[in-house]
Structure 1
Amino acid sequence: MSRLTVILFSFLILLQSIDINFNDLLKFDALIEHAQYHKQVHGDNFFQFIAEHYGNTAANHDDKPDEHKKLPFKEHHHVLCHLNSPLILTQQFSYNIKNTEVIESPVNFFYKESVSIFEKPSVFQPPKFA
């Protein structure tokens, strides 16, 4: 049971890392329908269809943009969400840093040895005043 859970979570992380969401999975019907259209009209096989719509020649083939927006993996409006915001900001910010003087406070604490009745006084003691 734990292996199945690990495999499912790994698959979920994989899908999220390559930016596949549920809306893209729902658009696979449009992908298959459009691929069949290309096969009937242009005689393309599935790999040629994928190359025309998702490969290097996708910009040249974009003659019907409304139909192509219905295909999965075409809407990437959140591409910049992984960039750090300091890279996006172009406005210059200036900060005024005030130098304040450091005020030294007098030392109010002096170390004093605690007196304990459990300790026996020894003959050899460290000096009390240095």
Structure 2
Amino acid sequence: MSKLIAFTYSLLILFQSFNIGLEDLSKFSALLEHADYHKEMYGDNFVQFLAEHYGDAKADHDNEHKEHKDLPFKGAHHFCSHIITPFINTTITYDFTQQDFIKIPFNFHYTESHTNFEKSSVFQPPKHA
């Protein structure tokens, strides 16, 4: 039983990935009618019809008929991509030019400080163990 449910869910996810809505299914009859029109007027078979309306020849043939807006799968929502790309491929270039060495003069001088506010010998650690 669990295999049947998993298979059913897999088919549901597959069908949803095609992004086919009820509006497109209702326009399917218009697709078949327009295919018959192309077969009668131009002698196109169904594969040529699909190539003219959805394939490579779409740009040349798109403005010839006003019925094209009634065909299914013509909405822009079918071409949306909801993939989140968190990684941006940027080109990083490094400039490895050698700079001249600049000698910094040694100006460090340390002197031990001496104050009158030193602690008396009572508060010093023992000197002989």
Band of TM-score, shorter chain: 0.5 to 0.7
> Which residue number in structure 1 is paired with residue 14 of structure 2?
14
Deviation, structure 1 residue 64: 4.2
Q: CA 1:79/1:54 → structure 2, altered by over 3 Å: closer, same or farther? A: closer
> Which residue number in structure 2 is paired with residue 68 of structure 1?
68
Q: Normalising by the residue count of structure 2, what TM-score does the alignment of the two structures yield?
A: 0.55
Unpaired segments of 5 or more residues in structure 1? 87-130
- The CA distance in 2 between the partners of 1:16 and 1:7, in whole Å, is 14
Unpaired segments of 5 or more residues in structure 2? 87-129
Q: Normalising by the residue count of structure 1, what TM-score does the alignment of the two structures yield?
A: 0.55
Give the count of matched residue pairs.
87
- The CA distance in 2 between the partners of 1:85 and 1:3, in whole Å, is 33
1:93-104 correspondence to structure 2 within 5 Å: none
- The CA distance in 2 between the partners of 1:65 and 1:8, in whole Å, is 40
Deviation, structure 1 residue 78: 6.4
> Which residue number in structure 2 is paired with residue 49 of structure 1?
49
Partner deviation per Cα, 1:92-112 (whole Å, 9 max, x = no partner): xxxxxxxxxxxxxxxxxxxxx
Question: Quick check: which has more Rg, 1 or 2?
Answer: 2
Deviation, structure 1 residue 3: 4.5
- The CA distance in 1 between the partners of 2:2 and 2:64, in whole Å, is 47
- The CA distance in 2 between the partners of 1:69 and 1:6, in whole Å, is 38
Q: CA RMSD in A?
A: 2.7
Q: CA 1:83/1:51 → structure 2, altered by over 3 Å: closer, same or farther? A: same
> Which residue number in structure 2 is paired with residue 36 of structure 1?
36
The structure showing larger relative contact order (alpha-carbon pairs under 8 Å, at least 6 residues apart) is: 2
Greater shift after overlay, 67-76 or 48-57?
A: 67-76
> Which residue number in structure 2 is paired with residue 119 of structure 1?
none
Deviation, structure 1 residue 68: 1.1
SS of residue paired to 1:51 = helix
Is residue 15–residue 21 contact of structure 1 (8 Å, CA) maintained in 2?
no
Identity %: 55
Deviation, structure 1 residue 67: 1.2
- The CA distance in 2 between the partners of 1:41 and 1:57, in whole Å, is 18
Deviation, structure 1 residue 33: 0.6
Is residue 19–residue 78 contact of structure 2 (8 Å, CA) maintained in 1?
no
